[in-house]
């Protein structure tokens, strides 16, 4: 019995003349994710992506699990492929779904007949297959509203496919289809969630992290690398620019008013991040800022922070409260790493009374006390790419 994966597409099916471009990108991303699990043939027909093992040593379990984390797929079904013959379909359904049907109390059958030359219409397929399964499994009763097992029969152009309850996919759009953006990864809870959310909208990610050794430890740096790896389970391979930030923070502390430390620091970050992002071909910056969560994330502070850069700043969690962000962090497995007690540079030299409604003209006056451009140049020259 030949087992394959059927991947159903989400909003990709709504695309127009460029739909094939989205599908090709999705298949490319999928092939990259499952490349270690054996040789698979991947192709797209009738709004479905087929993943066919080409040898007996293919790990279809691992391939299926990886497919659930590929953006662009709404659900995955492990299916048995068989001849387009009603007796064969019934026989395969009995054998392939025996374990699920034997342990269930209720079931129903759904059928889809894409091949209109098949002699049985969809309701007739349901009647024939449902009746045979009901006779074969005495424990089963029909429940068309809320069955434990929904047996699905698809009669397509090449073959017939039998499967049961599908596995939810990641949804969204294929990574890379909507360009590339630089994500400012702090090591906290919010920025990995922001990264995940933008990857789900088809954005390829390039990480940018600011570290202040010796005020921040190597463990803090390792923590950010691990967070990028965890987000990469969904977003694919992520490179990170590690930006040395110690000298800039020491200069701000030495020359600027304490109440403006955080805003000036973040303006440095945005300027440096923009230059790095442009060099790496990014069309935007992404941050994990949530409105009003901390002093530097008031509406006025956000406006001053991004003043002076031209790239758009995407803030996918801006309207979410902490509990909503934590819920997503737990789901994508970044939360436990994010709360490890290794502080990032944003916690260094934190003012006791930060200005929550800064005026741009005052900030600019404070920045005149610093060699702004040369400090940025020095930091960029010493970036490490991981």
Count the residues in the chain.
386
Is residue 324 assigned to a domain? Answer: yes
Q: Are strands 384-385 and 180-184 parallel, antiparallel or unpaired?
A: unpaired
Determine the pLDDT at residue 13: 75
Question: Based on the domain organization, do 61 and 88 belong to the same domain?
Answer: yes
Please tell me the predicted confidence (pLDDT) of residue 159: 95
Residue 345's pLDDT is what?
67
| Same structural domain, 190 and 103 | no
* Same domain flag for 148 and 199: no
Nearest residue to 204 via CA among 230, 172, 237, 171? 237
Verify that 164 and 194 share a domain, yes or no. Answer: no
Examine the domain organization and report whether 131 and 247 are in the same domain.
no
**Are 226 and 117 in a shared domain?**
no
Query: Quick one: 29 and 105 in the same domain?
Result: yes
- Are 234 and 331 in a shared domain? yes
Range of the domain at 278: 180-385
Q: What pLDDT score does 12 carry? A: 78
Domain membership of residue 21 (yes or no) is yes
Does residue 175 lie in a domain region?
no
Give the HSE-up count for residue 203: Cα atoms under 13 Å, Cβ half-sphere.
23
Instruction: Write the CATH number for 79.
Output: 3.30.2130.30
Boundary residue ending a domain (141, 168, 195): 168
Does the residue 59 lie in any domain?
yes
pLDDT at 155: 96
Domain count, the chain: 2
Identify whether 173 is part of a domain.
no
Asked if 115 and 61 touch (Cβ cutoff 8 Å), the reply is no
Q: What is the pLDDT of residue 346?
A: 67
Same domain, 132 and 18: yes
| CATH code of residue 327 | 3.40.50.620
> Given this model, what pLDDT does residue 146 score?
95
Same domain, 268 and 132: no
Q: What is the 3-state secondary structure (H, E, C) of the chain?
A: CEEEEEEEECHHHHCCCCHHHHHHHHHHHHHHHCHHHCCEEEEEECCEEEEEECCCCCCHHHHHHHHCCCCCEEEEEEEEEECCCHHHHHHHHHHHCHHHHHCCCEEEEEEEECCCCCCCCHHHHHHHHHHHHHHHCCCCEECCCCCCEEEEEEECCCCEEEECCCEECCCCECCCCCCEEEEECCCCCHHHHHHHHHHHECCEEEEEEEECCCCCCHHHHHHHHHHHHHHHHHHCCCEEEEEECHHHHHHHHHHCCHHHHHHHHHHHHHHHHHHHHHHCCCCCEECCCCCCCCHHHCHHHHHHHHCCCCCCEECCCCCCCHHHHHHHHHHCCCHHHHCCCCCCHHHCCCCCCCCCCCCHHHHHHHHCCCCHHHHHHHHHHCCEEC
- Of the residues 105, 140, 168, the one at which a domain ends: 168
Is the same domain home to 234 and 164? no
> Does one domain contain both 204 and 90?
no
- Whether 246 maps to a domain, the answer reads yes
Domain-terminating residue out of 148, 168, 188: 168
**Average pLDDT per consecutive 10 residues, the chain (386 residues; last block may be shorter):** 92 80 94 96 92 95 96 96 96 96 96 94 96 96 95 95 95 95 94 98 97 86 95 96 94 90 93 97 96 86 92 97 96 95 71 82 92 94 96
Q: How far, in Å, are 34, 100, 264, 321 from residue 318 at the CA level?
A: 34, 43, 21, 8
Residue 347 is predicted with a pLDDT of: 66
Q: Is residue 285 part of a domain?
A: yes
């Amino acid at each position: 019995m030949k087992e394959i994966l059927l991947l159903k597409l989400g909003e990709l099916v709504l695309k127009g003349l460029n739909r094939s471009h989205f599908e090709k990108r999705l298949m490319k991303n999928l092939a990259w994710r499952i490349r270690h699990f054996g040789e698979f043939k991947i192709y797209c027909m009738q709004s479905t992506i087929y993943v066919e093992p080409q040898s007996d040593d293919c790990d279809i379990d691992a391939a299926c699990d990886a497919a659930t984390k590929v953006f662009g797929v709404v659900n995955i079904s492990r299916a048995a492929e068989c001849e387009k013959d009603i007796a064969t379909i019934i026989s395969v359904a009995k054998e392939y779904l025996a374990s699920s049907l034997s342990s269930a109390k209720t079931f129903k059958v759904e059928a889809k007949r894409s091949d209109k030359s098949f002699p049985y219409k969809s309701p007739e397929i349901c009647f024939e297959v449902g009746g045979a399964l009901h006779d074969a499994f005495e424990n089963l009763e029909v429940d068309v509203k809320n069955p434990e097992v929904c047996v699905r029969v698809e009669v397509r152009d090449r073959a017939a496919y039998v499967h049961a309850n599908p596995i939810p996919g990641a949804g969204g759009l294929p990574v890379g289809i909507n360009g590339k953006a630089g994500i400012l990864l702090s090591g906290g809870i919010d920025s990995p969630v922001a990264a995940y959310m933008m990857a789900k909208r088809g954005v390829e990610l390039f990480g940018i992290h600011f570290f202040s050794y010796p005020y921040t430890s190597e463990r803090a740096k390792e923590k950010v690398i691990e967070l990028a790896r965890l987000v990469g389970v969904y977003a694919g391979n992520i490179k990170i620019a590690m930006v040395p930030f110690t000298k800039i923070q020491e200069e701000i502390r030495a020359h600027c008013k304490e109440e403006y430390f955080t805003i000036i620091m973040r303006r440095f970050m945005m300027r440096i991040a923009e230059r790095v992002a442009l060099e790496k071909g990014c069309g935007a910056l992404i941050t994990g800022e949530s409105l009003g969560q901390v002093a530097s994330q008031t509406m006025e502070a956000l406006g001053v922070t991004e003043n002076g850069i031209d790239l758009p700043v995407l803030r996918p969690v801006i309207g979410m409260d902490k509990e909503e962000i934590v819920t997503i962090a737990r789901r994508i497995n970044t939360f436990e790493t994010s709360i490890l007690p290794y502080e990032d540079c944003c916690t260094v030299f934190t003012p006791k009374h930060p200005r929550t409604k800064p005026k741009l003209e005052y900030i600019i006056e404070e920045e005149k006390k610093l060699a702004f451009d040369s400090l940025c140049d020095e930091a960029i020259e010493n970036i490490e790419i991981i």
